Amino acid sequence: MGKKTKKLKEEARLRRKMTKLWERGQSDLCEVRGSSIHGRGVYATEDIPAGTKVIEYIGELIDKEESERRAWAQHAKAEETGDAAVYIFTLDKRWDIDGNVPWNTARLINHSCDPNCEAWVEGKRIFIHSLRDIAKGEELGFDYGFDIDCYEDHPCRCGSEKCVGFIVSQEQWDELRKRLAEAETPVEA
C-alpha cells in the first residue's frame, strides 16, 4: 500500500470518527437558540417526559493535570476578554471531559437553580436526563455543581424563583447563605 493510499484511508477513518462524535452530540429533543440566561441556550423541541435521556455531553477525554492547565488558561483568557465559558466536566477522580467542541450541543445548556435536567455519568460518558416533564419550547438547565470556594466568580442569572445569586451546588446553598449574611453584617469598631 502506497503512502497516498494509506493517508487517504487514515483521513476517511478520522472523518468517520468525527461524524460519529457529531451524531452523538445531537438530539432531536432539543435545539440551540438565544437565551435570556446567558448567550445561547438549549430548548426542548417537543414535550420531554421526566426521566428521559435528552442528549450526550461529548468532548475530549483529558486527565486532571490537563484539565487544570486548561482551566487556568481559560481563567487567564476570561481576565483578559471577559469570556468565562468553561466546558470541562468532571467524570471521576482521574478524568474529565473538555466539551469545548462545536458539535457538543449540550455544552450550551445553562445553569439553573431550579433545574429541569441533571447530568449522569455513565462510565466515561455523560448524559443529560430530564428531572421532570419539560414542555416544548422550555429552556433546559441543570445544576453545574460549582464549589462554594469561588462563588464570587460565578454570578447566576437563571432568573428562577429559587435563584441564590451564584452558581453553587445545591448542597452548598446553606453555607452560601451564611457567607452572604456574614458579608452583609457590618463590623463594629
| pLDDT the model gives residue 16 | 87
Q: Number of helices and strands (H, E) in the chain?
A: 3, 10
Question: What pLDDT, on a 0 to 100 scale, did the predictor assign at position 18?
Answer: 82
The pLDDT of residue 12 is 86
- Strands 110-111, 141-142: pairing is parallel
Cell of 59: 468532548
- For residue 28, pLDDT beyond 70: yes
In angstroms, rounded to a whole number, what is the distance separating the alpha carbons of residues 148 and 130?
A: 25
Query: What pLDDT, on the 0 to 100 scale, is given for residue 182?
Result: 87
Please say whether the beta carbons of 173 and 185 come within 8 A: no
pLDDT score of 152:
87
Does residue 102 surpass a pLDDT of 90?
no
**Global pTM?**
0.84
- Please give the pLDDT value at position 186: 67
